Structure 1
């Protein structure tokens, strides 16, 4: 092979490798199968003709994937949104805010850098959005900014 072909092949390999890293572990991002995995087992549809605030759940023992068959048996295929990625995406009390989202549908009050024990739940079909100033909003109002992607508070 000529040096320019080798260089082109290396660049193509690097580009494809970086795209694979970007796709794996993304939560609440629309994928090629027209769903956004919210965590390992829950997803929402990314189609214009489907209400955006509907969350679906994979059957027991299955995970949300980027395949045409959205839910696959756990262990046979990696989840598009790993538990680590979902659990790591929630804010903590840092002394600057009075409340933080502790799951997709709950929030708690902060006392400085400590979380108080009282859990407040959003109404049905609402998600936590402290940054909106409303505490809980419709999923379509939150857009791509899900503040906490846990199924339940820790």
Structure 2
């Protein structure tokens, strides 16, 4: 298994290595809970400066917490609230440098300062979001966004 110490090279190289590990974890498995659990653990332990990494699944009305790593989280998020709701509603990745400046931010963990949320869509339907929080302001850059969008696409492709 990859750990932060085994990822090497440039940031894009590290995300390529992380994507390879994600492919190996997902290979042959179609259960979304199992795959979300493994990807949450992989990303949380491989990337530095995270305090939460996990999934929220869309139940047809709102987002409901799924597998994650980190402190206990908000259980339900309406699509008109917070960074996760914005990603789900707009179906666009949200990369927020300062969550306290984001209108309607939901503070599940007061230590979180920046956030990156990737919407999950399969066959045109909203599945949920892949959410990462950091206690470091502006933790996520464009390379992080691109790398984590690849991980999210791999998850989408794994769905039965």
Is TM (by shorter chain) over 0.5?
A: no
* Rg larger for: 1
RCO comparison, higher one (Cα < 8 Å, 6+)? 2
Structure showing the higher helix proportion among its residues: 2
State the TM-score, normalizing by the size of structure 2.
0.28
Normalised to the residue count of structure 1, the TM-score between the two structures is 0.29
